[in-house]
Amino acid sequence: MSMELLTSLRQEINKVIIGQDYMVDRILIGLFTGGHILLEGVPGLAKSLTASTIAGVSGVGFKRIQFTPDLLPADILGTEIFNQKTGEFIIKKGPVFANLILADEINRAPAKVQSALLEAMQEQQITIGDTTYKLEKPFLVLATQNPLEQQGTYQLPEAQQDRFMMKLKVEYPNRQEERRILEQFGLGEEREVSFQQVLSREKITEIRKVVSRIHVDEKIKNYVLDIVLKTRENRQYIECGASPRATINLVKAAQGRAFLEERDYVTPDDIKAVVYDVLRHRIVLSYEAEADDMTPEKIIANLLELIRVP
């Protein structure tokens, strides 16, 4: 992917999304590495708009699933329907059969519905009845959730959270960005914002192959291992450390960031840039940590200080 194509991709996204560069970059990392993304933030921060915009600019099939307490797994995956004329069952495929899935407010549905996405996210396939269907590539799940202290939300199971490459903490825009949002969308008649398609499914597949070949030095691999293994040693504050999936995703996310920075090799700064997003949802805190007002971010920062940078 040339620098011009990457620049035009950002320009088209910025026609619709003002600010939120951190969120946009991390979603692009997910798109270019095949890693699913969990977005956490209060309503109104353009999480859903960013997902639909990136899907449009990328030229991939997009479906939005609104998670609610009464949602059923079949509403996501699809179901078998009996055809009285033929006397046979036919398959009605659900919205998960798309390239980019927006699982909106995923923590407003109970665990059995959330877990309906597990097979799709890990195996990239869906089983309906006795038949298994492969999902079309590229396949990516972007899930949004409100902070858990909000009313009517459910905790995501650890197995579900571990399927996400990164969990992003989406913050409010700054004053200048919010002024631009006001000028563009809040004054007078609402203006139609159009963008052009820059990528395609075939191009994304090519980019994923390029990203997977970005060089990771032995010292970087050992640095990643040092970080992940440290999460399993701190028994004071960490009840359960990061899984081997965290090790894999930390390297993949760093490769994606190196690609966005137009490098063909990973640096320690790439690891540091994505380590919070990759690990924050994979560290289960102990009661002592909560009593001492420790957060996953504080613990990760402390671990990084203990580990020598290559």
Res 195: pLDDT: 84
pLDDT tens-digit map of 237-249: 888 889 999 999 9
Whole-number pLDDT of residue 139: 94
The per-residue pLDDT of the chain, averaged, comes to 88
The domain in which residue 108 lies consists of: 3-186
186, 205, 239 - which closes a domain: 186
Q: Do residue 95 and residue 225 come from a single domain?
A: no
Q: Is residue 195 part of a domain?
A: no
Can the peptide bond before residue 110 be classed as cis, meaning omega within 30 degrees of 0?
A: no
- Residue 239 sits at φ, ψ, to 5 deg, of -75, -35
Task: For residues 132 and 256, state if they share a domain.
Answer: no
Quickly tell me which residue has 């700064």 as its tokens: 269
Same domain assignment for residues 72 and 156: yes
Distance CA 241, CA 284 (A): 7
Residue 276 confidence (pLDDT): 96
The torsion of the CA quartet 48, 49, 52, 58, rounded to 10 degrees, works out to: -130
Question: How many residues can be counted in the chain?
Answer: 310
Tokens of 17: 């999304």
- Does residue 9 sit in the same domain as residue 141? yes
Strand partners, 65: 103
Residue 200: inside a domain: no
Same domain for 137 and 44, yes or no, is yes
- The pLDDT tens digits for 103-123 are 998 888 888 888 788 778 888
Number of domains in the chain: 2
Provide the percentage of residues in the chain whose pLDDT is more than 90. 50
pLDDT at residue 187 in the model: 67
Say yes or no: 157 and 232 in one domain: no
Query: Where does the pLDDT of residue 225 fall: very low under 50, low under 70, confident under 90, or very high at 90 and above?
Result: very high
- 40 Cβ contact partners less than 8 Å away, ≥ 6 residues apart: 144, 145, 146, 147, 167, 168, 169, 170
- Over 60: is that where the pLDDT of 280 sits? yes
- Considering 117, 151, 186, which residue would you say is the last residue of a domain? 186
Last residue of a domain, one of 167, 186, 205: 186
Whole-number pLDDT of residue 113: 83
- Whether residue 189 is predicted with pLDDT greater than 80 in this model: the reply is no
In a shared domain, residues 22 and 161: yes
* Nearest 10 degrees: Cα torsion 170, 243, 224, 1: -60
Query: Are residues 24 and 122 both part of a single domain?
Result: yes
183 pLDDT more than 70? yes
User: What local confidence, expressed as pLDDT, does residue 90 receive?
Assistant: 82
Residues in a beta bridge with 131: 128
Residue 191 confidence (pLDDT): 62
Q: Are residues 38 and 171 in the same domain?
A: yes
Do 65 and 95 form a contact (C-beta atoms < 8 A)? yes
Residue range 16-39, pLDDT digits in tens: 898 889 999 999 999 999 999 999
Q: 165 and 50, same structural domain?
A: yes
255 and 142 part of one domain: no
Q: What is the CATH number for 92?
A: 3.40.50.300
Q: Write the CATH number for 295.
A: 1.10.8.80
pLDDT digit string (tens) for 43-99? Answer: 888 898 899 999 999 999 999 999 988 888 889 998 888 778 887 878 888 899 999
Distance of CA 288 to the CA centre of its chain: 30
Instruction: Indicate whether 141 belongs to any domain.
Output: yes
| Prediction pTM value | 0.91
